[in-house]
Every structure is written in structure tokens, then in C-alpha cells.
Amino acid sequence: MSNRNFYIVAYDIVNDKRRQKVAKLCESIADRVQGSVFEAYLTTEELKKLGVKADRIIDKEVDSIRIYMLCSNCRSKIITHGNGAVTQPPGVTIV
């Protein structure tokens, strides 16, 4: 778990088709917490792959994807109101 960091991924995509592609990309690696906001625990390599794939989809003139890394101290200070909980770190997988 030490090689994974916690990220918030948010996007504003103008075009419906591109927005759906970005949503599918995010859903494949992260938990949706709001319409266009995701939480994920990613390795450096997974983060790079996300950026490369996203860059192939978006129109950089009008679309925006923002990725924020939150340290464990900051993550513990997340405040939520209403339905939903902060995404928990991935558990141990026994093979």
C-alpha cells in the first residue's frame, strides 16, 4: 500500500462522447463519488497511464481534467455532508 497515493480526479468535458470516454476510463481505476469526481489509490505508473490515456481523449482547448494528490494527513481531514463516504485504501489481496 505504501507505493499508492490517494488522488481526487475531477473533470469538465464539453462533449458528451468525450465525457463518456473519460468517465469509463476513470471508472476503470477509481471510485465515482460525484458525477465527475473520482477517488483512487494509484501507483506512479497508474497515474502516468491515466494521464496518457486522458490526453488521447480530451480536447485540450475546451476540456479539463484535474488530479489532486492528498497525503494521508489531508485525507483524514476530508469533510463530507450527506450521502457517501471517503474511499478506503485497497485491502490486502490473497492469491
Q: Which CATH architecture has domain 5-75?
A: 2-Layer Sandwich (3.30)
Q: Which residues of 12-46 are buried (b: 16+ CB within 10 A; e: fewer)?
A: ebeeeebbebbbebbeebbbebeebebbbbbeeeb
Q: What are phi and psi for residue 82, nearest 5 degrees?
A: 85, -155
C-alpha cell at 9: 480526479
Question: How far out from the chain centre does Cα 72 lie?
Answer: 16
Q: What is the pLDDT of residue 55?
A: 97
Structural domain boundaries of the chain? Answer: 5-75
pTM of the complete model beyond 0.95? no
| pLDDT tens by residue, 45-82 | 999 999 999 999 999 999 999 999 998 888 888 888 88
